[in-house]
Amino acid sequence: MSFSPGALLGAYEIISRVGAGGMGEVWKALDTRLHRHVAIKRLMPQHAARFEREAQAIAALSHPNICQIHDVGPDYLVLEYVDGAPLAGPLQPGEALRLALQIAGALEAAHRRGILHRDLKPANILVVRSDLDAPAVKLLDFGLAKLLDSDVDATRTMDGALVGTAAYMSPEQADGRATDVRSDIFSFGAVLHELVSGRRAFPGATTMQVLHAVVREQPPPLDAPAAIRDVVKRCLRKRPEDRFQTVAELKAALERAAQSLESLSAEDTKPSIAVLPFANVSADMENEYFSDGLAEDIINLLAHMPGLTVIARTSAFAFKGKREDIRRIAEALGVTSVLEGSVRRSGNRIRVTAQLIAASSGAHLWSERYDRQMTDVFAIQDEIAQAIAAALEVKLSLESIAERGGTTNLAAYEAYLKSRHHWSRLTYESLGRSRECCEEAIRLDPQYALAHCHLGELAFVSGMAGHVESYARARTAARHALRLDPSLSEAQALLGSIAGLCDLDWAEAAAWFRLATAHERVPPHTRMHYGHHLLMINQLAAARREYEHALAEDPLNPLYRMHLAFYFAAARDAARAETEMLKVLEVDEHYWPAYLYLAHIQLSAGNHAGALVSAERAATGMPGLPRSSGLLAGLLARDGDTPRSAALLATLQPPDAPGVPTGLALYYLARQQFDQAAAWLEKAIEQRNETAISGLRRGFFDQIPERERMYRMLKLPPTND
């Protein structure tokens, strides 16, 4: 049944397997006559009749959004090779509609030829993206197709068992009743629902639960413009006569929805805001942590207002200390308004001034001064948020900080703000101070869920560096945070990352991320964690979407931009990965992790000189870090600077200390001694060092032998190369 790379099938040279299912396998191959890549679909003998129907169905169709057939053999099809990723959401409404119209066009062409698809689902729709053209879809797999005038039911086997995908079947298909074009329209509605929401319209833990939902239950509410909701709702009506009766009707409704969306966009009615760091005008400059924290908490409050786009802290705080024109800041962040202010503390008194400024004109929309006792700081935050809601005419759906995992204990709140302040500096000393302040916040208020979650994040960072025991502390802290606030998305995402990187339980990780991303608002930090999980399990296109979503809310965040660079590294696009990493340094030239990973990217691309310069900057930014020291030592040795290399190498002791195996793996990798690099990399994986584990997926260790065995150690799928 199976091929092997290098084998010949007539004029086709087999390259690699790209897919498999219950009916057979799909292989990438080279047409040696026309020098083009093709996909060969070879089926098992028991599916020969269904295979013949697919050949007839595809051969009858010619449409730019349908995969084309090139050749046919006794048990195989030769198809157009489509270099794309399966359709996946959530997408912005405009992009979702553009892709949906292409899918509808393909279905209309098939129905015009008298062919039902019968297995329309995201996995059978590939999205082809390029830097030059808009995304395009290709409809695949007519293996369950049925000619409208045929009595053969391709969705059932000889013993009557259903064949297809339960979550996308129409009710009549699930019940085994007669089907027509309206069945494909129902499946289309399920696909569109998932494309917009990122979640299945009919979830369930078992096939029977899914089928019951398809036949009996309504899909969950869709958070989308009304025109899209109406299309999906009509497609998913249980009775065929209540749906669109033809794809032509469906297309017309989609086009009206697209026009409606364009009108809303043209009106630019959705307000957006950036909250700049409040200036500390107190006599004591140590109060800076408090003024920063006040602005950050106002950001968090505003982020829970429906209809208001709020730029996250990192991007807004990139302008701290810079005397930029407000209109320039608003343009850089893509917002319609900016909030700025100042904080003065004196004893138990606090004075807060705040002003909301229109980006288009620089005019004040609202301003206020608050002279209060320090104990009133939480009320001040709420009042500012309420005033902004009124000024921007957005719906007020305001919860207090305490209701969202926070505290009303002022001392605990101050300790937490200090912890966040130290955390942002990314040095050994600052991370230690951050942990001490976080523990103090918890001591002062044991019910402070956000503080428990932050303590877990601090322990997680330690675990990523090779201190495996820290993962247990991170897990304990995150679970405690969830006991206090079961809806805390950040804690759920943290548990997902721990399950993957520490336990290598990628299924449990996926379950946590389903919970973390099911909230009405998904924080960008949660998206960053989820994107990393998707990258590790080789769902690269989905990972890129999460990173881009995070950057849309926090466009100047160096960590999120760095993770987007990781996506391009994993996709083996070294040039684009380097470009994105350099963008990180444009925002913050002192962000040492970007220099470290830039060195990795340059080394894997063969740019030894560039890697040496970047590694020097990384080692200066975080002295004594084993991975920085090891990489720089290897590059210096290769460059002939033996004394400096030996001095750095001597710091990598003892060999089994946390992070040291990763440093030694990078040392030998830079020296092109790949067997030794592989041996130390395996030890680093045993330490659960994140640089070692993630570096495999990002292509940093492509030159070492036995990579596939290491993927098996990590219980991960191999790369696509």
* pLDDT over threshold 80, residue 147: no
Burial track 361-389 (b if 16+ CB lie within 10 A, e otherwise): eeeebbeeebeeeeebbbebbbbbbebbb
- Could you tell me the two tokens for 633? 């030592």
Last residue of a domain, one of 376, 400, 424: 400
Average pLDDT value for residue range 679-694: 92
**Claim to verify: residue 280 and residue 182 sit in the same structural domain:** no
C-beta pairs of 564-570 under 8 Å, 24+ apart in sequence = 565/597, 565/601, 566/532, 566/535, 566/597, 566/694, 566/698, 567/531, 567/535, 567/540, 567/543, 569/600, 569/601, 569/604, 569/698, 569/699, 569/700, 570/535, 570/540, 570/543, 570/697, 570/698, 570/699, 570/719
558 falls within a domain: yes
279 falls within a domain: yes
Could you tell me the residue range of the domain that residue 600 belongs to? 525-721
408 falls within a domain: yes
Q: Say which CATH number the domain at 44 has.
A: 3.30.200.20
**Claim to verify: residue 113 and residue 248 sit in the same structural domain:** yes
* pLDDT over threshold 80, residue 49: no
pLDDT band for 622, please (50, 70, 90 cuts): confident
- Could you tell me the two tokens for 243? 């749906």
Last residue of a domain, one of 400, 426, 447: 400
Q: What is the residue type of 253?
A: A
Burial track 451-477 (b if 16+ CB lie within 10 A, e otherwise): bbbbbbbbbbbbbbbbbeebbebbbeb
**Claim to verify: residue 392 and residue 249 sit in the same structural domain:** no
Among 284-298, 586-600, 675-689, the range scoring the smallest mean pLDDT is: 284-298
Placement of tokens 């920063």 in the chain:
292
Q: Say which CATH number the domain at 362 has.
A: 3.40.50.10610
Task: Give the whole-number percent of the chain exceeding pLDDT 70.
Answer: 89
* pLDDT over threshold 90, residue 519: no
What is the pLDDT, as a whole number, of residue 151? 45
What is the pLDDT, as a whole number, of residue 553? 84
**Claim to verify: residue 514 and residue 536 sit in the same structural domain:** no
**Claim to verify: residue 383 and residue 418 sit in the same structural domain:** no
Q: Residue 472: what are its φ and ψ, rounded to 5°?
A: -65, -40
Q: What is the residue type of 621?
A: G
89 falls within a domain: no
Placement of tokens 């409809």 in the chain:
139
**Claim to verify: residue 545 and residue 631 sit in the same structural domain:** yes
What is the pLDDT, as a whole number, of residue 354? 86
Secondary structure E strands in 313-463: 337-346, 349-358, 364-373
- Using CA atoms, how far residue 117 sits from 120, 142, 229, 266, 357, in Å, is 6, 6, 24, 37, 54
Which of 515, 523, 486 is closest to 499 using CA atoms?
A: 515
**Are residues 377 and 350 in contact, defined by beta-carbon separation less than 8 angstroms?**
yes
Last residue of a domain, one of 368, 400, 432: 400
Question: Which of 66-75, 123-132, 443-452 has the largest mean confidence?
Answer: 443-452
What is the pLDDT, as a whole number, of residue 132? 52
**Claim to verify: residue 389 and residue 248 sit in the same structural domain:** no
2 falls within a domain: no
What is the pLDDT, as a whole number, of residue 117? 85
**Dihedral (CA of 355, 356, 361, 362) sign:** positive
249 falls within a domain: yes
Task: Give the whole-number percent of the chain exceeding pLDDT 90.
Answer: 43
How many Å apart are CA 97 and CA 88, to the nearest integer? 13
* Number of neighbouring beta carbons within 10 Å of residue 139: 25
Q: Say which CATH number the domain at 688 has.
A: 1.25.40.10
What is the pLDDT, as a whole number, of residue 440? 95
Residues 6+ apart with CB under 8 A from 454: 416, 419, 420, 423, 438
**Are residues 644 and 653 in contact, defined by beta-carbon separation less than 8 angstroms?**
no
**Claim to verify: residue 254 and residue 186 sit in the same structural domain:** yes
Residues 6+ apart with CB under 8 A from 334: 272, 311, 555
How many Å apart are CA 665 and CA 514, to the nearest integer? 34
Is the entire prediction scored with pTM above 0.85?
no
**Claim to verify: residue 498 and residue 434 sit in the same structural domain:** yes
Q: Where are the alpha helices (DSSP H) in 113-170?
A: none
**Are residues 422 and 434 in contact, defined by beta-carbon separation less than 8 angstroms?**
yes
How many Å apart are CA 237 and CA 244, to the nearest integer? 9
Which of 6, 10, 196, 12 is closest to 97 using CA atoms?
A: 196
CB burial class (10 A; 0-12, 13-18, 19+) of residue 719?
A: middle
Domain count, the chain: 5
599 falls within a domain: yes
pLDDT band for 160, please (50, 70, 90 cuts): very low
**Claim to verify: residue 507 and residue 534 sit in the same structural domain:** no
**Claim to verify: residue 233 and residue 378 sit in the same structural domain:** no
What is the pLDDT, as a whole number, of residue 188? 97
**Claim to verify: residue 74 and residue 28 sit in the same structural domain:** yes
Among 197-201, 267-271, 636-640, the range scoring the smallest mean pLDDT is: 267-271
User: Checking phi first, is residue 6 left (phi over 0); if not, alpha (psi -120 to 50) or beta?
Assistant: left
- Could you tell me the two tokens for 530? 């989820």
Distance from chain centroid for Cα 472:
25
3 falls within a domain: no
What is the pLDDT, as a whole number, of residue 154? 38
**Are residues 658 and 690 in contact, defined by beta-carbon separation less than 8 angstroms?**
no
pLDDT band for 561, please (50, 70, 90 cuts): very high
Q: Say which CATH number the domain at 133 has.
A: 1.10.510.10
Average pLDDT value for residue range 572-586: 90
Put the strands of the sheet holding 24-31 in their side by side order: 8-9, 12-21, 24-31, 36-43, 76-80, 69-72
